Amino acid sequence: MATRTADGETPRSQSNVVIDGIREMLTSGRLVAGARLPVEKDLCAMLGVSRGSLREGVRALVVLGVLETRQGDGTYVTDLGPSQLFEPLGFLADLQSPENSVHLLGVRRVLEPEAAAHAALNMSDADLEAAGRILDRGDALLADEPGMDLEATIDVDTDFHRLIAHASGNPAFAAIIEALVGRTARARLWRAIHEHGAVRETQREHRAILDALIARDPDRARIRMSVHVLGVEESTAMHFGETDAAAEADGGGAG
């Protein structure tokens, strides 16, 4: 049975009071990005909670990227930027089952083409040169395809997509795209692509995306990225479909 405070509330519900109270202070403007929270005693009185419940609620908001504690200096509101606020989403994406990677790709298929279209208009020449160097690394890996370094291939893919997302000029695009496909999920995708012999095709699609970006053609960049993410989605779905079928066959044989 859950322990209760003197007023009959569970610690969990009291910590929710803290979270909701601080959220209301932020949305009302009583607290702003970079502001220091009131001292613990005053904040407990304002929210009507115990110190223990306050600390639990504050810890939860630190994990969510809303607050940060500074040793010996109190607790502050973060800059509330997209990269911080969406970071926990990356942790959750990594915890998804392999089969759910396909669903994450469905979300990417909505977001990444628009990010590419924006990037075609906003990328600097330096960004384009950096993207070219990233794909040159991919070409070098393909030259050694029989013994290809999968980890290095994942790095090329991650760096290329991250650069485009950041170059879109929209920090929310960059934060969400990066969060949706963390390293664990991306490794699963690349294993699926590799097992279906689609690594060279994926690199060709990356080159086609870069060509559209160099041409400053947002419509073409959008289409090329759509084709690319859809191809990865299909390879992944095929991979996990075959894995499930093999598992069922093994189960049937055992029975």
**Residues 18 and 60 grouped into a single domain:** yes
Please check whether residues 130 and 50 belong to one and the same domain.
Answer: no
- 109 in the same domain as 198: yes
Domain hosting residue 64, numbered range: 11-79
User: Are residues 108 and 181 both part of a single domain?
Assistant: yes
Residue-level pLDDT at 212: 99
Pairing of strands 74-77, 67-70: antiparallel
In a domain, 249, yes or no: no
Residue 59, token pair as written in the block: 């810890």
Largest CA-CA distance found in the chain, in angstroms, rounded: 69
Q: What is the pLDDT of residues 145-163, one digit of tens each?
A: 677 787 888 888 889 999 9
Q: Calculate the alpha carbon distances from 115 to 102, 150, 172, 214, 230 in Å.
A: 20, 26, 10, 15, 15
User: pTM for the whole thing?
Assistant: 0.73
Residue 5 lies in a domain: no
Residues 95 and 105 sit within 8 Å (Cβ to Cβ)? no
- Domain annotation covers residue 89: yes
* pLDDT of res. 10: 54
pLDDT tens sequence for the chain (255 residues) = 444 555 555 545 888 999 999 999 999 999 999 999 999 999 999 999 999 999 999 999 999 889 999 988 899 999 988 878 888 777 777 777 766 777 777 888 999 999 999 999 999 999 999 999 999 999 998 887 677 787 888 888 889 999 999 999 999 989 988 887 665 556 666 666 666 567 788 899 999 999 999 999 999 999 999 999 888 777 777 766 655 544 445 555 444
Specify whether 164 is located in the same domain as 236.
yes
121 and 32 co-located in one domain: no
Structure tokens at 172: 């929310």
Same-domain check for residues 127 and 231: yes
Helix (H) or strand (E) holding 70: strand 67-70
Please, which residues bridge with residue 68 across strands? Answer: 76
Final residue belonging to a domain, choices 25, 50, 79: 79
Place of tokens 């929270």: 37
pLDDT of residue 232: 79
Nearest to 213 by CA among 201, 200, 222: 222
Verify that 95 and 63 share a domain, yes or no: no
Distance CA 164, CA 114 (A): 10
| CATH code where residue 64 lies | 1.10.10.10
Q: State which of 56, 79, 102 marks the end of a domain.
A: 79
The per-residue pLDDT for 150 is 78
- Inter-axis angle of helices 51-63 and 11-28, nearest 10: 60
Any domain includes 247: no
